[in-house]
A and B are shown apart, each in its own frame.
Chain A
């Protein structure tokens, strides 16, 4: 089988090829960049790295948090103290000025145009602009060590991961749509037959049963998109290295945006009955509405708690799963710090089996959380458009 034929034959193979290609290219690119940087860097670099390593071993909690949060670069691996990462574009707006540069300019505490990556404290992980004590218009501005926070619109690890999963979803589902058009009236095949049951599951068991036969079709695109977006990103989050590894669905901004979409759609599709139930719920004793509008307040708060709960549930579930896996893996290094054989034993006997077990559980959670988010969104839409008699 020659390679171009393989590419033509299998779309999955093509995607795999692209992903592998991206890894290789990015790896080579960054390695050369990192080494180039090292050549020009100061001599005490290795000491700093050594300190980093010691600190990493000692502060497991910090490492776990670092793995869970967003990052301005995509760290691939560390080899003999060299961090190999994919540099990502940093886009900043500061005092109405737009700044764009690659994230490797900020690596290892470097400053670029006064911007630097805060490594400690309240603003840890954020890009800050150092304000140097100096004379501007005969005035001394800025204090020592003070810094301002620019508007950070960088393409971070999570943003890139979102882009990649969007492209992947578009590629997968447009190709499936094409397969449907090509094989009209025939039974599904390949990728089509893999995903068709899930699409039908979302349609019949989520949308139809929660929204109702009449109006469910209007919400199908959103529900399917959100289901597959969450599901794909949950799965990608379980892959520990490059194309996966970003904790997208375990990021509160991402889940928050999705919850806001649900909130907006619910609010804008709410009919008269829905709003009447919120403002003046029928069947509730009058003294709960007047003079203190207790029920309306509870209902109005409820409008906002529903998407808030959606946001927190997905975020917390994914974050918790990742934290446990990272905890198990960290145990290897904690015990390895005491005695390397002990670390090996813990790794083989405890951490690896439990991390595998947790990963399997996370596979289940990946599906369940996508299901729950979609189901609850559908239920909220169903409530908003329910016909009251």
Chain B
């Protein structure tokens, strides 16, 4: 059977050329190709990893931002509350102070009025006294001309004075 009997020449040439083919392709084709494939795969892996890392970082950053925002809001609320409290206390204080002042003023005024009144009364009393003395002098000058009239008059005076 010709078809299953290998030819010596063909075996020889095939061995030589196949060995050379393996050698040449190994040196000039497979090594560079496999190396660049390997390198490229590594680059891609690295890029993907980095993208993942960046995404993670973004997530944590976002969470941090939210936390910060919440904190800031809380702080603002606290500040506002405090401010309101301070405002209220200031107003309260002012009101208390004003009340006090007003009371003081009223008190002072009352005191002064009393003093003025007292002074006026004294003055009035003094004047009345001097007027009454003058009147008495005049009456005395006139009445004392007649004795009985004088007596009646004195009696009247005394009675009036007592009523006063």
Contacts and interface: CB of A to CB of B under 8 A. Distances in A.
A257 B15 contact: yes
A69 B33 contact: no
A224 B31 CA distance: 11
Contacts of B3: 65, 68-69, 252, 319
A300 B154 CA distance: 176
B10 A166 contact: no
A180 B29 CA distance: 10
B6 A256 contact: yes
B13 A159 contact: yes
Contacts of A253: 6-7, 10-11, 14
Interface of A is mostly: helix
Interface residues of B, number: 34
Interface string A149-168: 00111111011001100100
Contacts of B40: 184-185
A252 B11 CA distance: 9
Contacts of A69: 2-3
A169 interface: yes
Contact of A159 (B2, B9, B22, B24): B9
B104 interface: no
B18 A221 contact: no
B62 interface: no
Given A69-B2, A162-B14, A166-B21, A152 B28 contact: no
B88 to A, nearest CB: 69
Given A173-B29, A180-B36, A225-B25, A158 B2 contact: no
Contacts of B13: 153, 155, 159, 162-163
Contact of A154 (B9, B20, B33, B37): B9
Contact of B37 (A199, A251, A257, A260): A199
Contacts of B29: 170, 173-174, 176-177
A156 B8 contact: no
Contacts of A154: 9
Q: How large is the interface on A (under 10, 10 to 19, 20 to 34, 35 or more residues)?
A: 35 or more
Contacts of B5: 252
A252 B4 contact: yes
Contact of B30 (A65, A153, A221): A221
A326 to B, nearest CB: 13
Contacts of A152: 7-9
A217 interface: yes
Contacts of A261: 18, 22
Contact of A221 (B11, B12, B14, B26): B26
A169 B28 CA distance: 11
B60 interface: no
A200 interface: yes
A174 B28 contact: yes
Nearest to A260: B15
B32 A162 contact: no
Contact of B7 (A156, A174, A176, A177): A156
Nearest to A248: B14
Contacts of B17: 159, 162-163, 166
B20 A166 contact: yes
Given A180-B32, A185-B43, A253-B6, A225 B26 contact: yes
A169 B25 CA distance: 8
Contact of A258 (B12, B18, B20, B25): B18
B43 to A, nearest CB: 6
Given A184-B36, A185-B40, A221 B31 contact: yes
A127 B1 CA distance: 16
A180 B10 contact: no
B30 A225 contact: yes
B161 interface: no
Looking at B6, B12, B17, B33, which has the most chain A CB atoms within 10 Å of its CB?
Answer: B33
A156 B28 contact: no
B18 A124 contact: no
Given A163-B13, A203-B34, A225-B30, 10 more contacts: A69-B2, A70-B10, A162-B18, A173-B28, A174-B28, A177-B28, A180-B36, A257-B14, A258-B18, A319-B3
In order of increasing CB-CB distance, the 6 nearest A-B pairs are: A253-B6, A173-B29, A221-B26, A180-B36, A253-B10, A177-B32
Interface of B: 2-15, 17-18, 20-22, 24-26, 28-34, 36-37, 39-40, 43
18 contacts: A65-B3, A70-B7, A152-B7, A156-B7, A156-B9, A158-B10, A162-B14, A169-B21, A170-B25, A173-B30, A180-B32, A196-B37, A203-B37, A224-B25, A225-B25, A253-B10, A254-B14, A319-B3
